[in-house]
Amino acid sequence: MTTTLIPLSGIEGVNYNTTYTAYDQTAAISSTNSPDNPGPPFTVGTVSKGTGDSEFVFVKAGATINLGDCCIVTSTTQLANPVTTTLALKGVQVGFAQVPIANGAFGWLQRAGACSNINCLAVVQNVQLAATATPGVLDDVVTVGLKNIDGVVVTTSGGPGVLAGTLNQSVVGITNP
């Protein structure tokens, strides 16, 4: 399921449901590696505001990102990786994939607003969520050593799978003592 949020930022060509793969001159030309596709149309780190108080950031995937994955986004390179308890560092921003993004490709991660795709284990609505050992997947079992993801609320109980919720500039929070 893709997002139906509409860009309002005034940046021409923004489509939150599209990913981009840059041409690699060292590899053979193919349907997915073509000189007709010179690179992404936006600079990584570009922020776009959308309907419903939504906000997205343009990133490069450092690993395969699945639909709904919670991803850490490095502040210096805007490289995105699915979050795990190992990768989660306090204060690092996170975003949620509204479409899958292949390793090395470029795409948009949602950081704020009503969100249709949050990848979770079996969770209860309106409780604290934390990173797990499974890349990109959050859980509401906040036990010792797990790192909270602040600014994300799942608004329907369910899972495992992709659930709806609300994002508010989500970041990695404290490690549970």
Question: DSSP letter string over 25-88?
Answer: TTS---SSS-TT--S-SS-TT-EEEETTTEEEEEEEESS-B-TT-EEEE-TTT-EEEE--TTT-
Q: Assign residue 26 a region: left if phi > 0, alpha if psi is -120 to 50, beta otherwise?
A: alpha
Q: What is the mean pLDDT of residues 107-130?
A: 95
Tokens matching residue 103:
């390793």
Q: Name the more confident of 2 and 74.
A: 74
Find all residues with CB under 8 Å of 30, minimum gap 6, and list them.
none
Q: What pLDDT score does 36 carry?
A: 78
- Note the pTM of the prediction, 2 decimals: 0.89
State whether the Cα torsion 9-41-118-128 is positive or negative. Answer: negative
SS3 134: coil
User: In this predicted model, what pLDDT tens digit does every residue of 131-164 receive, in sequence order?
Assistant: 999 999 999 987 888 899 999 999 999 989 999 9
Q: What is the mean pLDDT of residues 14-42?
A: 81
User: What does 11-34 look like in DSSP terms, one character per residue?
Assistant: -TT--TT--B----TTS---SSS-
Q: What pLDDT score does 10 carry?
A: 65
User: In this predicted model, what pLDDT tens digit does every residue of 72-108 receive, in sequence order?
Assistant: 999 889 999 999 999 999 999 999 999 999 999 999 9
